Amino acid sequence: QVQLVESGGGLVQPGGSLRLSCAASGSFFSIGSMGWYRQAPGKQRELVATITSGSSTTYADSVKGRFTISRDNAKNTVYLQMNSLKPEDTAVYYCNTPDARVQVNVWRNYWGQGTQVTVSK
């Protein structure tokens, strides 16, 4: 099994920055793609950014140019650097890996527990 543990959320003023981290632990052969999603109150969960094991990235249009996703494969950790934060970025941010290889021919999808990001004066 795989556990994803997020950290780094908190309260920040508009225009500020935060860095989220998500570390994968447990029993697995490898972690494939990783990503960040977010869910604001009353809204559906939405994709923020993804990164493949080869470090190819994708971003939601709403965060392009402000957020940067990266990963450290040796540490099985993914990061989300968030700059120029806006009130509309307020949400619970979730870490995800859709293809953790847990057995020789078994890949599974895992989610973290989420970390709150609040952007407010």
Tell me the average pLDDT of the chain.
97
Confidence (pLDDT) at 12: 98
Read off the DSSP letter of residue 95.
E
Kindly report, residue by residue over 29-44, the tens digit of the pLDDT. 999 999 999 999 999 9
Confidence (pLDDT) at 52: 96
Closest residue by Cα to residue 5 from 71, 102, 80, 94: 94
Kindly report, residue by residue over 11-69, the tens digit of the pLDDT. 999 999 999 999 999 999 999 999 999 999 999 999 999 999 999 999 999 999 999 99
Confidence (pLDDT) at 13: 98
